[in-house]
Amino acid sequence: MSDKKTIIIRFRVDEKIHKEMQTKADEYFNGNLSALIRCAVLGYSETETNNLESPQMIALLNSSLKIIGRIGTNSNQIIKHINEQQKMFPLSIRASDILPLSRFHDDWVTIQDMLKYLYNLIAISK
């Protein structure tokens, strides 16, 4: 069974609710409204949940893993290009060949912040 999301669900909200939802998405889900809604709906229960099984924590981990996967895929493409170039022109590596790797810095900072936040949530719940 594929994890590919192919179904689109639409619903209407007013400006005030949209602003509140976006604020929560920015705060807890790196701006991802879909993750906020999935977390709210799938994590809803009449009973109290264990803090370590918090839908917020699970969504944050999923977002982190998604970003890490994207960085890995893009890094592999860049490195493959460099390796192919090295086969044709050995010892011809330039700083401009490695420069695209620097664009992942912001993503790594985001992941670091997300994981620090998760660590603090786990530490508080113990």
Q: Which distant-in-sequence residues (6+ apart) come within 8 Å of 120 by Cβ? A: none
Burial of 40 (0-12, 13-18, 19+ CB in 10 A): middle
**Structure-model confidence comparison of residues 19 and 97, the more confident one:** 19
pLDDT digits (tens, 9 = 90+) for 57-107: 778 888 888 888 888 898 899 889 888 888 888 887 888 878 888 888 888
pLDDT digits (tens, 9 = 90+) for 36-64: 887 777 765 555 445 556 777 778 888 88
The residue written with tokens 């920015």 in the block is 26
pLDDT at 97: 79
Amino acid letter, 14: D
Long-range Cβ contacts of 97-105 (<8 Å, 24+ apart): 101/75, 104/71, 104/74, 104/75
pLDDT at 15: 92
- Alpha-carbon distance values, 111 to 20, 44, 47, 49 (Å): 24, 26, 31, 25
The residue written with tokens 């994890």 in the block is 3
